[in-house]
Amino acid sequence: MKRIERVQTGLRLEKRMLKVLKGLAEHLDISMAELVEGITLHALEGKAPPFSSTVLEKIEMLKQVYDLDLTSEDAHKIGEAEDE
């Protein structure tokens, strides 16, 4: 096992996306940090995370539950909602 040092961060995420990630981490019985680190390590190597078809189905269900309609196409086209 490789030893690492984790640091606290003030990361801000889109609300529905965060709910989906929290639900997925709970489903996989891992922490949010472990989930984000795993997804990030795969992305930095140009790989998709190795989610099984069952996990992909759970992700789709969570996206529907939390009305997450964003896709990778939206990644650089989203911005903060204006204060009303």
* pLDDT tens digits, one per residue of 19-33: 999 999 999 999 999
* pLDDT tens digits, one per residue of 56-77: 999 999 999 999 999 999 988 8
Long-range pairs for 65-72 at CB < 8 Å and ≥24 separation?
A: 65/23, 66/16, 66/19, 66/20, 66/23, 67/16, 68/16, 68/17, 68/19, 68/20, 70/14, 70/16, 70/17
Mean pLDDT of the chain: 94
Q: Which of 58, 5, 53 is nearest to 29 (CA)?
A: 58
pTM (two decimals): 0.87
Confidence of residue 82 (pLDDT cuts 50, 70, 90): confident
Domain locations in the chain as residue ranges: 15-67
Residue 83 confidence (pLDDT): 56
